[in-house]
Amino acid sequence: MADNESTSKWNPKGGAATLYTCHKFDCDFSTYEKLPKCPECGFPLYDAATFKVFGVLLAVCGVLLAAVGIGIIVLLTFREMKSEFGAVVIYGLLSALALAGIALIAGGLRQAVTGLKSTWFLALFVILLLAIGILAAVLRFVAGSF
Ligand SMILES: [Zn+2]
């Protein structure tokens, strides 16, 4: 690998060596060597600049998710719900969606600034998405009752 290629692109001053960190969510492997993939789990390794780009993308996705969740909540407050229970479930789902978006924004921005993997924010995002999935599944079962 042409090492000066990466240093000139991401590190024009040619200062400290580039640290590559494994992309896998729960893998902590990192190295200063430019390896094609992580020797521990086989996922790709990225440098801080790449993690920053991903961080920006995560934050943008978070903004979209939060906007959808909050937007629908705002729209629904102008309509009458068929039942209290239905309202609680739907607001719960939308709030979880908005929270997931906010977690993604926070994690993405932190990653964009530091270039470090935002493991905990992404974990929170995944947990919220799972919660939404479970709630949505429950909603399907009880959909006839309201
Ligand atoms: Zn790994």
Q: What is the pLDDT of residues 78-129, one digit of tens each?
A: 776 667 777 777 888 888 899 999 999 999 999 999 988 888 888 888 898 8
Average pLDDT over the chain, rounded to an integer: 83
Over 50: is that where the pLDDT of 136 sits?
Answer: yes
**102 exposed, middle or buried (CB, 10 Å; 0-12, 13-18, 19+)?**
buried
Q: Are 97 and 132 in contact (CB under 8 A)?
A: yes
The DSSP code for 144 is G
What is the model's pLDDT at position 119? 84
Ligand 1 centroid distance, CA of 125 (Å) = 20
Ligand 1 centroid distance, CA of 124 (Å) = 20
Q: Which amino acid is at 52?
A: K
Q: State both tokens at 98.
A: 């908005």
Find where tokens 């729960």 sit: 26
Ligand 1 centroid distance, CA of 39 (Å) = 7
Ligand 1 centroid distance, CA of 113 (Å) = 22
Spell out the alpha helix ranges (H) of 16-118. 48-76, 84-114
What pLDDT, in 10s, does the model give residues 57-78?
999 999 999 999 999 888 887 7
Ligand 1 centroid distance, CA of 45 (Å) = 8
What pLDDT, in 10s, does the model give residues 2-41?
444 445 455 555 566 888 999 888 898 999 988 989 999 9
What is the model's pLDDT at position 121? 83
What is the model's pLDDT at position 42? 94
Q: Are 19 and 31 in contact (CB under 8 A)?
A: yes
Pairwise pLDDT comparison (113 vs 136), residue with the higher score = 113
Beta carbons within 8 Å of 15's beta carbon, 6+ residues apart: none
